[in-house]
């Protein structure tokens, strides 16, 4: 069943609905991938990478000038010392 669901995700990733907002695409792919949870380890990192890819594609950039993971870590550490 997991193989079938991964195929569905990859098909959707390759041909997202026309006009789908990039931020929404990033959120959907992230949630979909972590819900499938195909690996014992690294699912969150891969999901964040997919999200970053969706955002970069939406902005039509080859290089990202910010990182979701870096921002998450910055905010986590900032909140720990308040």
d(CA 13, CA 78) in angstroms, rounded, equals 34
d(CA 35, CA 29) in angstroms, rounded, equals 10
| Percent over 90 (pLDDT), the chain | 56
Is-contact 25 15, C-beta < 8 A?
A: no
Coil, helix or strand at residue 22: helix
- The model's pTM: 0.75
Is 34 a residue whose pLDDT tops 70?
A: yes
What is the domain partition of the chain in residue ranges?
2-80
d(CA 32, CA 16) in angstroms, rounded, equals 13
Q: What is the mean pLDDT of residues 29-44?
A: 95
Q: What is the mean pLDDT of residues 13-18?
A: 94
Looking at the chain, the number of H-run helices and the number of E-run strands are 4, 0
pLDDT confidence of residue 82: 59
């Amino acid at each position: 069943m997991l193989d079938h669901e991964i195929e569905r995700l990859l098909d959707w990733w390759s041909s997202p609905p026309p006009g789908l907002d990039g931020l929404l695409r990033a959120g959907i792919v992230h949630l979909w991938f972590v819900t499938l949870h195909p690996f014992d380890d690294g699912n969150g990192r891969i999901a964040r990478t997919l999200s970053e890819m969706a955002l970069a594609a939406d902005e039509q950039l080859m290089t990202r000038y910010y990182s979701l993971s870096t921002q998450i870590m910055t905010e986590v550490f900032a909140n720990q010392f308040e």
